[in-house]
C-alpha cells in the first residue's frame, strides 16, 4: 500500500468527523438564531398594569391604608356574583334573627315609595326593589361584597382579590362579577368601556381620575361615604359634570 493511499484512508474518517462537527455547529447556531428571533417576535401573554391617575375625590373616600392592611381579602368577583344566582338553602337561626330585625326597616323603606331601594344600615348592602336581569343582580351582589371595604388608592388593581379598593377598583370588581370586564381597569380606561350613553339598569361615569356607577337607581361610589367603613351604595346624586357616560350594551 503506497503512502498516498494510506493517507487517504486515514484522512477520510477525520474528514468525515470534521464535516459532521461543522454540521452540528451550524445546526446549533441556527436553533439559537431562531430562538432569539422567536423571543423577539412571539406574543407575550402578560397583564400590563396601567397606572391610575390621582383621584381628585380621594379625600371624600376616607382613605385607610392602616385598616386595609388588616382587613380580610375579598373573594373572587365570580364567587361574590354567584350569590345572585344561588338558590337559598335553609336559613340559620342567626339569619332568621337578622331578617326579622330588618323586616321593619324594609317595610318602612318600601312604604314610603313602592319602588324605593333598600340599603341595609348594618351591612351597607343594596337590595333592588325591581325585577332586574341576572347580570345586574351579579353586579349588585359583588358591590355588596365589598361595599364597606376600606378605600386605598390603587386597591383592586394588581388583583381583583384585595383588602381595599379605590374608585375604579370597586367598579371593576362589581362589573367583573357579571363578566362585563375580565381585568381591573382604571378610571381612564373605563371612559372607553362599554358603549356611550346611559343604560337602562347600569351606567358608569368615568374620567381620568374618578369613576362611579348607577345601578338600578342607586349610586355605587367611594366618594361621599359617611366614614372609612361606610357603604359605597349611596342615594344622593353626585356631581355628574365632566364624566364620560358609558353602559354595557343591552343593559
- pLDDT for 66: 87
- pLDDT for 89: 53
Whether residue 178 lies inside any domain: the answer is: yes
Q: pLDDT tens, 57-74?
A: 888 898 888 888 889 899
Average pLDDT over residues 34-52: 44
Whether residue 111 lies inside any domain: the answer is: yes
Whether residue 51 lies inside any domain: the answer is: no
State the CATH number of the domain containing residue 228.
3.90.1720.10
Whether residue 163 lies inside any domain: the answer is: yes
Question: Which whole-number Å values give the CA distances from 152 to 35, 50, 69, in the listed order?
Answer: 43, 16, 10
Contact yes or no for 121/211 (Cβ under 8 A): no
- pLDDT for 34: 36
- pLDDT for 37: 40
pLDDT at 181 over 90: yes
pLDDT at 142 over 70: yes
First-to-final CA distance of the chain: 96
Tally of structural domains, the chain: 1
Q: What percent of the chain has pLDDT over 90?
A: 53
Average pLDDT over residues 209-234: 96
Whether residue 232 lies inside any domain: the answer is: yes
pLDDT at 144 over 50: yes
pLDDT at 21 over 60: no
Neighbours of 194 (CB within 10 A): 21
> What domain range is 220 assigned to?
58-247
Q: pLDDT tens, 10-20?
A: 444 444 444 44
Average pLDDT over residues 104-119: 59
pLDDT at 36 over 70: no
Q: pLDDT tens, 85-97?
A: 654 455 666 666 6
Name the phi and psi angles at 164, rounded to 5. Answer: -155, 155
The residues with which 180 forms a beta bridge, in sequence order, are: none
- pLDDT for 44: 33
Whether residue 208 lies inside any domain: the answer is: yes
Q: What is the C-alpha to C-alpha distance for residues 171 and 52, in angstroms, rounded to an integer?
A: 13
**Residue 50 pLDDT class (50, 70, 90 cuts):** low
Residue whose entry in the numeric block shows the C-alpha cell 431562531: 34
Contact yes or no for 181/189 (Cβ under 8 A): no
Whether residue 184 lies inside any domain: the answer is: yes
Whether residue 202 lies inside any domain: the answer is: yes
Amino acid at each position: 500500500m503506497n503512502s498516498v493511499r494510506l493517507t487517504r484512508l486515514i484522512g477520510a474518517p477525520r474528514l468525515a468527523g470534521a464535516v459532521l462537527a461543522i454540521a452540528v455547529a451550524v445546526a446549533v447556531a441556527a436553533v439559537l438564531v431562531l430562538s432569539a428571533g422567536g423571543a423577539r417576535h412571539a406574543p407575550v401573554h402578560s397583564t400590563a398594569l396601567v397606572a391610575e391617575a390621582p383621584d381628585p375625590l380621594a379625600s371624600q373616600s376616607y382613605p385607610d391604608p392602616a385598616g386595609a392592611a388588616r382587613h380580610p381579602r375579598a373573594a373572587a368577583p365570580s364567587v361574590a356574583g354567584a350569590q345572585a344566582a344561588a338558590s337559598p338553602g335553609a336559613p340559620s337561626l342567626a339569619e332568621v334573627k337578622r331578617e326579622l330585625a330588618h323586616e321593619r326597616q324594609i317595610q318602612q323603606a318600601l312604604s314610603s315609595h313602592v319602588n324605593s331601594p333598600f340599603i341595609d344600615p348594618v351591612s351597607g348592602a343594596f337590595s333592588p326593589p325591581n325585577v332586574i336581569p341576572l347580570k345586574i343582580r351579579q353586579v349588585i351582589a359583588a358591590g355588596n361584597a365589598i361595599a364597606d371595604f376600606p378605600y386605598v388608592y390603587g386597591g383592586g388593581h394588581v388583583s381583583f382579590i384585595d383588602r381595599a379598593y379605590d374608585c375604579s377598583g370597586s367598579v371593576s370588581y362589581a362589573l367583573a362579577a357579571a363578566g362585563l370586564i375580565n381585568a381591573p381597569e382604571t378610571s381612564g380606561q373605563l371612559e372607553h368601556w362599554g358603549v356611550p350613553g346611559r343604560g337602562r339598569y347600569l351606567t358608569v361615569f368615568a374620567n381620568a381620575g374618578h369613576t362611579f356607577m348607577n345601578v338600578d337607581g342607586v349610586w355605587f361610589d367611594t366618594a361621599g361615604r359617611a366614614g372609612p367603613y361606610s357603604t359605597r351604595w349611596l342615594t344622593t346624586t353626585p356631581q355628574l359634570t365632566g364624566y364620560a357616560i358609558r353602559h354595557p350594551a343591552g343593559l
